[in-house]
């Protein structure tokens, strides 16, 4: 990309494809963890093609993956970012095939190294092969650097260690670091084994390196727990166990070793039950992007839900032809027109979906702070932030709904509302953008993040006050929408699926529909393990344990199953649920 093209993109005078935009923002450390994003049909189609390739590789359908990659290359050969993705996927196929072919036909490390070099040089200067100084790379580019150096630097472990230092740069989010840091530690250790350095570490002859790799290992484990992902989780635990046995580490090593063994056993047992491999064997997870929505489809579904005619929607925004082409995926439009249409439909717009509409950096930072404080149950501080947000946000219906939603949550958590009043206020809040009757009567629905959260909050209050039938009524529209998802649909929408379907499975269990509940929980667990996410696995294991105990009434078996829930809570740093399971065991 030329300086001139970048300047035009920054000034809003040129639009480019989503793959390029994502690469530019990733290089700036802007890995955004929100509710997905809206794209026009061409970019949506490309996103789906990427998922076809990734899913085929991870399902060991290498022949199918190669066919999808060939189609992808023919369509997107003019974009170096897209071609780099295609080359990476081809390399993953070749490596997977290495496991099944005769040794004489298998790729050598040198051959694999050259393949990574070709992919790397599409977007990254040759300098990156030996030094990262003064380079701004995205996390997936940095992964290619790691792969190249691993296969090219048998003796130079320091080149891998430089990547760990680069990851400590503050511009990377913890989510981005958790994708690569554990992998880099594992690759460092593998090089040590290859060069015989591990024996020096084990017998204490090289304690300096042993202490260093242990420190890196603990840092990697902390990232995996904090972000609740399983990228190289098994490998990190195995390295940790080896180092603990050799005498490395501070504190209660014996207790740490027990925990490590229990976590390893829990991962292996669950992966085995789901027919999945417990190790990370490819780089596909760097390219997994979920919750991407086609603007045309969203506009069409939402307009029909609200009972709006095309004229009512396009009036004062665009022509009828523009709206018709958008809804039928025949052509995109300018992003500002699309955002105005979404706004009229009561949906937050913008490049990334948020619960608010704003372009002010200060307001977005406050919004992010509010979300963090609410996750930490600091509701008095949440109120202060919400008061400031109310002053800064424009008074469109999306922002008004967000403010009312946030105020209601804070008031309830501070014991200022009983649950009946809370439900009434949340119902009024939902009505700011859409009537509950429109949601319940629509076969096909599209809801904003806040609207789904409101339905969940209402449903949860009914459930925890003993009215499971009303609870299911309010979650049922979301459940119905997600229930028909295929395996690849689930992967593409994993955030919504794991959260709302976990809750739905719990309600179904409470209603005595144990088999249906268990089927859903099993589906969620498998999907999460495939994707590389582990938050919420403990909740689904708990639902299945509760269902079984209702039938068998075997306290001993129930406690054993709850202990597995505790282990998965620990692996995802979920103290709240860990304490709940311990209380149930007493």
Q: What is the pLDDT of residue 207?
A: 87
Q: Is 346 part of a structural domain of the chain?
A: no
Distance CA 84, CA 73 (A): 10
pLDDT band at 34 (very low <50, low <70, confident <90, very high): low
Residues of the domain holding 128? 3-287
Backbone angles phi, psi at 100, to 5 degrees: -110, -15
Distance CA 283, CA 287 (A): 8
Q: Kindly give the pairing relationship between strand 292-294 and strand 37-39.
A: parallel
Instruction: Enumerate residues 6+ apart whose C-beta is below 8 A from 397.
Output: 346, 432, 433
Q: Which H or E element spans position 38?
A: strand 37-39
Q: Is 13 part of a structural domain of the chain?
A: yes
489, 453 Cβ separation under 8 angstroms: no
pLDDT digits (tens, 9 = 90+) for 325-351: 999 998 888 888 998 999 899 887 665
Distance CA 264, CA 258 (A): 10
CATH number at residue 265: 1.25.40.10
Residue 13 has pLDDT above 50, yes or no: no
Place of tokens 């950096």: 361
pLDDT band at 389 (very low <50, low <70, confident <90, very high): very high
Q: For the chain, what percent of residues have pLDDT higher than 70?
A: 91
Q: Is 252 part of a structural domain of the chain?
A: yes
Residue 65 has pLDDT above 90, yes or no: yes
Q: What is the pLDDT of residue 250?
A: 83
Q: Is 352 part of a structural domain of the chain?
A: no
Instruction: Return the sign of the alpha-carbon dihedral for residues 106, 109, 110, 112.
Output: positive
Q: What is the pLDDT of residue 187?
A: 97
Residue 30 has pLDDT above 90, yes or no: no
237, 256 Cβ separation under 8 angstroms: no
Q: Is 583 part of a structural domain of the chain?
A: no
Distance CA 443, CA 141 (A): 42
Q: Is 490 part of a structural domain of the chain?
A: no
pTM, two decimals, is 0.91
Q: Is 200 part of a structural domain of the chain?
A: yes
pLDDT digits (tens, 9 = 90+) for 495-521: 999 999 999 999 999 999 999 999 999
The better pLDDT of the pair 364, 325 is held by 325
- CB-based burial of residue 306 (10 Å sphere; 0-12 exposed, 13-18 middle, 19+ buried)? middle
Residue 227 has pLDDT above 90, yes or no: yes
574, 538 Cβ separation under 8 angstroms: yes
Residue 413 has pLDDT above 70, yes or no: yes
Number of domains in the chain: 1
Q: Is 154 part of a structural domain of the chain?
A: yes
509, 471 Cβ separation under 8 angstroms: no
Strands (E), 166-296: 292-294
Which of these, 387, 464, 390, lies nearest to 423 by C-alpha position?
464
Q: For the chain, what percent of residues have pLDDT higher than 90?
A: 70
């Amino acid at each position: 990309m030329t300086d001139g093209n970048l300047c035009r993109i920054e000034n809003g005078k040129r639009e480019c494809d989503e793959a390029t935009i994502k690469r530019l923002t990733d290089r700036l450390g802007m890995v955004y963890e929100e509710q997905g994003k809206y794209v026009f049909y061409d970019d949506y189609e490309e996103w789906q093609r990427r998922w076809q390739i990734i899913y085929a590789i991870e399902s060991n359908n290498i022949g199918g993956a190669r066919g999808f990659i060939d189609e992808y290359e023919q369509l997107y050969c003019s974009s170096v970012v897209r071609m780099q993705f295609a080359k990476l996927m081809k390399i993953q196929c070749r490596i997977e095939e290495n496991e099944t072919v005769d040794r004489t036909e298998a790729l050598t490390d040198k051959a694999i190294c050259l393949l990574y070099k070709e992919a790397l040089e599409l977007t990254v200067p040759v300098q990156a092969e030996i030094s990262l100084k003064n380079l701004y790379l995205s996390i997936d580019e940095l992964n290619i650097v790691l792969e190249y150096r691993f296969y090219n630097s048998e003796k130079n472990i320091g080149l891998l260690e430089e990547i760990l230092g680069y990851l400590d740069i503050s511009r990377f989010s913890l989510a981005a670091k958790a994708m690569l840091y554990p992998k880099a530690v594992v690759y460092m250790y593998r090089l040590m084994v290859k060069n015989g350095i591990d024996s020096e570490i084990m017998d204490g002859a090289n304690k300096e390196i042993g202490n260093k790799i242990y420190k890196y290992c603990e840092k990697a484990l902390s990232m995996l727990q904090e972000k609740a992902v399983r990228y190289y989780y098994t490998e990190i635990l195995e390295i940790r166990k080896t180092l603990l046995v050799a005498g490395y580490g501070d504190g209660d090593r014996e207790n740490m070793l027990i925990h490590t063994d229990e976590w390893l056993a829990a991962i292996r047992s669950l992966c085995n039950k789901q027919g999945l491999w417990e190790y990370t064997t490819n780089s596909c997870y760097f390219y997994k992007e979920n919750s991407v929505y086609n603007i045309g489809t969203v506009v069409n579904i939402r307009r029909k839900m609200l009972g709006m005619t095309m004229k009512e929607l396009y009036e004062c925004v665009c022509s009828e032809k523009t709206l018709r082409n958008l809804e039928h995926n025949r052509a995109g439009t300018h992003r500002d027109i699309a955002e105005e249409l979404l706004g009229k439909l009561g949906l937050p717009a913008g490049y990334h979906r948020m619960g608010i509409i704003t372009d002010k950096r200060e307001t977005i930072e406050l919004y992010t702070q509010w979300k963090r404080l609410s996750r930490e149950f600091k509701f008095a501080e949440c109120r202060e932030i919400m008061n400031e947000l109310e002053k800064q946000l424009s008074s469109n219906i999306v922002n008004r709904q967000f403010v009312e939603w946030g105020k209601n949550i804070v008031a309830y958590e501070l014991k200022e509302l009983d649950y009946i009043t809370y439900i009434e206020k949340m119902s009024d809040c939902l009505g700011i953008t859409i009537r509950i009757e429109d949601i319940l009567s629509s076969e096909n629905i599209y809801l904003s993040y806040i609207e789904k959260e409101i339905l969940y909050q209402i449903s949860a209050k009914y459930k925890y006050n003993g009215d499971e039938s009303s609870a299911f009524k309010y979650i049922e529209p979301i459940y119905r929408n997600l229930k028909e998802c295929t395996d690849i649909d689930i992967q593409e929408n994993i955030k919504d699926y794991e959260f709302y379907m976990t809750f739905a499975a719990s309600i179904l269990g409470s209603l005595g529909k144990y088999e249906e509940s268990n089927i859903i929980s099993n589906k969620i667990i498998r999907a999460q393990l495939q994707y590389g996410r582990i938050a919420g696995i403990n909740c689904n294991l708990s639902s299945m344990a509760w269902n079984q105990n209702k039938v068998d009434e075997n306290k001993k078996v129930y406690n054993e199953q709850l202990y597995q829930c505790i282990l998965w809570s620990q692996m995802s740093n979920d103290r709240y649920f860990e304490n709940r399971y311990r209380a149930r065991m007493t």
